[in-house]
Each structure stands twice: as structure tokens, then as C-alpha cells.
Amino acid sequence: MGEIIYKRVETDTELRQILELQKLNLKQNLSEDFIHTEGFVYVEHTFAVLKRMNEACPHFIAIKENQVIGYALCMLERFRRDVPVLEGMFNYIDKVLESKELSKLHYLVMGQICVDKAYRGKGVFRNLYNNYRLGLEHEYEAVITEVNAKNLRSLEAHKAIGFECLDRHIEENDHWELIIWKWN
């Protein structure tokens, strides 16, 4: 068995493998039991958008034996309209940062993070985030994301990394936590 390699996305094949892993973990494709114990991802990206996002700021991946086993997407603010389901999140981030006098904060959004079920609990999530920070902290002061409150595994994992709650809100009958990991 080969070792896990952490790197930034370089090929279309890697982008397609991200989309395959994403599809396997989309909330609508999972049972309630799986959602409760393993978590889920909420947003489905198109190849075209994922590629444009990668060209602007390459995503981070974990690879084992030439297969993507985990990913952390970089989503710059300029892509807020490219994934319509996330536009509300961006508007909410603007509002919260303004209210907390953080409107000048130079941040990016964790577009999504996911680890293949077979590799969970083995440090892949933490290593993806460590690489994310090392690769981006010279350009950004923080990373912000939203986690569905039902996704307890993800929420706990983010808080273990160092994320803190900025705000909680309800959107379309779902409870969300807006969280931030400040680097500087």
C-alpha cells in the first residue's frame, strides 16, 4: 500500500476524481444513518466551475495510489455567483463580517472538504487543512465556511482544527453554523 500524498490539483483527471468522491457523499445520495454517523456534503459542483475555481486558486487533495481520497476546495469570493446555492452564504458572510467589524478581513471560503469513508479517522482531514493553511496563509488571513448543524462529524472536526463559530442561523429549515479559522 502506497503512502498518502498531499498536493494541489494539477490535472483534469484529479478534478473528475473530486467530483466522483463528491457525488458519493452528497446528502441526497445518502441514508439518514450514514448522514448521522459519517456526515455529508451539500453542494454539487460542475466540472466547468470546479476547473475555473482551480485555475484561480488550486484545490488541495490527498491521493493514494493515483486516486483522490480527500479534497479541500478553494473558493474565492469572485465565484459567489457561479454556484447559485452558495450565493446566500456569501451574502450572509458579508453581513456577519460587517456586524463584527471584520469587513476588511482578507479571507477565502472553504468551498467544500471531503474525505473518502475508508480514510476517515486517519488524519486526512487534519492534513488537508494543514496543507491548506500552509499553502494559503501568506495570501489570506482566514478561511470561512458554513456547516449544517446536522453534520455533527464535520462540525466537530472543524472545531478540532481551530475553527470558531462566527454565527448561527436558519436557512430553508436547516440550522447552519458560520465558522472561521483565523491564521494571523
Per-residue pLDDT, 58: 98
Q: What element of type H or E holds 60? A: strand 60-64
The CATH code of the domain that includes 74 is 3.40.630.30
Q: Report residue 41 as a C-alpha cell.
A: 456534503
CB atoms within 10 A of CB 11: 9
Q: Is 68 exposed, middle or buried (0-12, 13-18, 19+ CB in 10 A)?
A: buried
Q: What's the pLDDT tens digit per position in 115-129?
A: 999 999 999 999 999
> Locate cell 481520497: which residue?
69
| DSSP 8-state secondary structure symbol assigned to residue 118 | G
Structural domains counted in the chain = 1
Mean pLDDT of the chain, nearest integer: 91
Residues of the chain under the 50 pLDDT cut: none
Domain that holds residue 123: 5-182
Give the tens place of pLDDT for each residue, 57-67: 999 999 999 99
